[in-house]
Chain A
Amino acid sequence: MNNYEGEARSRSQTLLIVEGNHEKNKLFWLIFKCFPEINIDMDNVWIYGTNIYLLYEDIVKEYGEDWAEEEMDIDLPFVISKKQTPGDLRYKDDFTNIILVFDYERHDTNFSERKIMEMQNSFSDATNMGKLYINYPMIESYQHLKSIPDYDFAERKIPVSLQPGSRYKDLVSRETVIEKVVDFPHRIDDLMNEHFGITNAEIRQKCCEDILNLSDAAQVEEKLQEVLQNAIADDRRRTLQFQLKDWISKAGYANRGQTYWQYIRNLFVEIIHHNICKANRIQNNTYDIEGENYKECFERLDLGEILNAQNTFSNTSTGFIWVLNTCVFVVADYNFSLIQERNEV
């Protein structure tokens, strides 16, 4: 037996550095699902939960205090793997995407305007060192739309005094039109699991997939029967079928002749549009963007400038924070044409 084959190199991976909250994984799972063009397989996504200031300290440990000033080439997979799995070091050359998503959370005890600014300015290319997306005040801001379109989003801000984070979450929950739709796949899974006792995860997953792919309102009942045929006993199936039909109709995708994924994709295109306009509002004082300038406008956005503006407005106790979600820009950064086609939602 020869032994020519060396260790296979696993590349083409994605590193997602987030604060570790399930919500974020849910968001990116959804984004990668409904924009299949982005071509990221969830199995190839490596999620690392941390806090931005801890990550900052890890970088300092490896590269020294002046890493940002000296414009060092930071290898985040290396920094992280060295700490987490010292026996299995990873390098950025194996990653096609490195995405960092953190909350602004000004009231965090470790908050430092300088450090967060250094991070923002250094991490600006997802295909290379990585790109940092900061959400203001936190990740939930992508759900903070009261209708679609939501003209008041242009001026939506929250007082610095609104803390801790759970208070903002509650506020979003009260006002959002997005949350329910986004939660839909998880809700039907829960329904089948907890209320109807379909404990086999594989069967449940298959049912969910089929349900989310329904796109003809007239056939929902018939199809549901097919889908659930072997998943649950007859007597309970009818109740579940009835309930699901009601939910699907409320979720509203099949009524428009769309699958759940098509519907949610259009919804994301709108969410991203609102946030691009909002970012433009913060950076350039104009919310509305003419159709033909849309891409140019997006390319001119500077996340550093936006952070700077947010810092300025929020550094007194009576200050405020603009509601803005930048992590949804991942899609626009990948390929702007993905969000250029806007359909009515």
Chain B
Amino acid sequence: MMVMAIVMVMVKKTNSEQQFTRQISVIFLRQCIAKGIGVGYTINMKYARILFERKVYVMLRTFALRNYKNFRDEIKIDFGNVAGYQFSTDCITDGLISKMLIYGRNATGKTNFGKAIMDIGSTMFGGPGYIENGVFLNADSEEDSAGFSYIFDFDEMELIYQYSRFSNQELRDEELVINGVSIFRCDFLNKEYHFDNLKCVDAETANVERYLQVLEGGEETEGVIEPKLPFLRWLISNVALKNDSILIRLANYVRRMVMITVGNEMPYRVRRMSKAFYDSLENPERLKDLEDFLNAMGIECRLILEKLPDGQKELYFAHEKLVPFYENASSGTLALVDLYRRLIPKVWDASLIYLDEFDAFYHYEMAENVIKFFKKKYPRCQMIMTSHNTNLMTNRLMRPDCMFILSRRGTLTALCNATTRELREGHNLEKMYISGEFEKYE
């Protein structure tokens, strides 16, 4: 109850702090509940601010993937591979690429790659990733597992979380390395476990025996039937970690990773899923905000939310007669509203967003506007966008080290590394791409 009181006090602060404190309070509360204690910690604003400032510095530096779906050989994305361009510097944050565009022919694996990046979320928290049960391993390879490796930058620290899995449901091994020190290593295949350095993450109190029991099937875990419970997930939910613990901060980052596939959303599904969104639009300010957003992106319209006699809400375009929104909105408008719904009204900001074919239905100017909007609104967010729209391949908006080509062979190459030519600001990258300048890497 004390925690609640603190939350109340902090709500008076500025907007971003407010969002943040709400967020850490939630984590904090969860922890307290998990530990079965309600008191003992107090968070003061100064402490929260330290956390807040630190939180900002967690970023994914590299992600590497092997033997997953169409990627037989290792494919790596290195956000730290920045060239010294003096233009479009808003694509770079703290020396890492924060706005990235990926091009590639059809069926080169742009969506698969996004799913792979998001895999850490289902490993750490379970979730929908475990339900899906399609082809997981590369179909041309004889290896028995797919490898995932994530390197995060935490202030001065480097955290590597890597694991390999046989399938969506089953881990093969798992390892956490911080600053070169292996914190734990679990080899589920050979049943070899090393928990030697848990104290480095202040988790020496972890009852690993209990974990091993769970692993052996001695105990049901949270109703999730999963043969190999990832140790990291168990650790985070079962050990009293401090709020500034590196693991809590990692969890905080991973929880805020989002993948959005714009092209495949069916309007009716959107409608069903978005009851909460509708409810939020009852607030005239929120409705106005949506309207402003659509107008700013190039869709001129006025919106009205009406309550039907049966209590349901319906969104309309405001004309002389009301026109139902979802039945009549264009594909582009629907896609844009969906994007809005999934990102903007949230109380938290995403840490990483994988926007697959984000501008499939957009006019080229709208696609540009959306990118500009992202840059301004989410300067720190690591955004990976895939697109077929070569109009965006321009130094006005992006830069050669932030635009990548995904090839049929499963290689990901930045434009500046896809030619021996020195790429300059004045170059017409789109024309160069079309005329085959980067042919060898397509």
Contacts and interface: CB of A to CB of B under 8 A. Distances in A.
A124 to B, nearest CB: 8
Which secondary structure characterizes the binding site on chain A? mixed
A128 B431 contact: yes
A8 to B, nearest CB: 12
Interface residues of B, number: 14
A96 B422 contact: no
A335 B439 contact: no
B426 interface: yes
A96 B432 CA distance: 6
B422 A334 contact: yes
Given A125-B426, A125-B428, A335 B437 contact: no
Contacts of A96: 432, 435-437
Interface stretch (A87-95, A200-208, A305-313): A87-95
B436 A12 contact: yes
Nearest to B439: A12
Contacts of B428: 125, 127-128
B431 A127 contact: yes
Contacts of B54: none
Interface residues of A, number: 18
A184 interface: no
Interface string B417-442: 00111100011100110111101000
A95 B431 CA distance: 9
B435 A92 contact: yes
Given A125-B426, A125-B428, A94 B420 contact: no
A93 B420 contact: no
Which secondary structure characterizes the binding site on chain B? loop
A92 B426 CA distance: 17
A294 interface: no
A155 to B, nearest CB: 31
Contacts of A93: 431, 434-435
B435 A337 contact: no
B141 to A, nearest CB: 29
A134 B436 CA distance: 27
A233 B437 CA distance: 47
B421 A11 contact: no
Contact of B422 (A11, A94, A337): A337
A148 interface: no
A12 B420 CA distance: 14
B396 to A, nearest CB: 15
Nearest to B428: A128
B420 A39 contact: yes
A37 B420 CA distance: 6
Nearest to A36: B420
Nearest to B422: A335
A11 B420 contact: no
A336 interface: yes
B437 A12 contact: yes
B103 to A, nearest CB: 16
Contacts, number: 47
Contacts of A171: none
Interface in B391-433: 419-422, 426-428, 431-432
Contacts of B427: 125, 127-128
A155 B161 CA distance: 64
A38 interface: yes
Given A334-B421, A337-B422, A11 B431 contact: no
A92 B436 CA distance: 11
A120 B421 CA distance: 22
A11 B432 contact: no
B435 A12 contact: yes
Given A125-B426, A125-B427, A94 B421 contact: no
B421 to A, nearest CB: 5
B432 to A, nearest CB: 5
Contact of A11 (B419, B426, B439): B439
Interface string A328-345: 000000111100000000
A94 B433 CA distance: 10
A39 B436 CA distance: 12
A43 to B, nearest CB: 14
Interface string B38-82: 000000000000000000000000000000000000000000000
Contacts of B435: 11-12, 92-96, 127
A334 B432 CA distance: 13
Given A12-B439, A96-B436, A125-B426, A38 B431 contact: no
A87 to B, nearest CB: 22
A39 B426 CA distance: 21
Contacts of B431: 92-93, 127-128
B94 to A, nearest CB: 27
Interface in A1-44: 11-13, 37-39
Contacts of B437: 12, 96, 127
B420 A336 contact: no
Given A12-B439, A127-B427, A127-B437, A336 B432 contact: no
A8 B434 CA distance: 14
A73 to B, nearest CB: 10
CB-based closest 4 A-B pairs: A12-B436, A11-B436, A335-B422, A128-B428
25 contacts: A11-B434, A12-B436, A12-B437, A12-B439, A13-B436, A39-B419, A92-B431, A93-B431, A93-B435, A94-B435, A94-B436, A95-B435, A96-B432, A125-B426, A125-B428, A127-B421, A127-B427, A127-B432, A128-B427, A128-B431, A334-B420, A334-B421, A334-B422, A335-B422, A336-B422
Given A39-B420, A95-B435, A335-B421, 18 more contacts: A11-B435, A11-B436, A12-B435, A12-B437, A39-B419, A92-B431, A93-B434, A93-B435, A96-B436, A96-B437, A125-B426, A127-B427, A127-B428, A127-B432, A128-B428, A334-B422, A335-B422, A337-B422
Interface of A: 11-13, 37-39, 92-96, 125, 127-128, 334-337
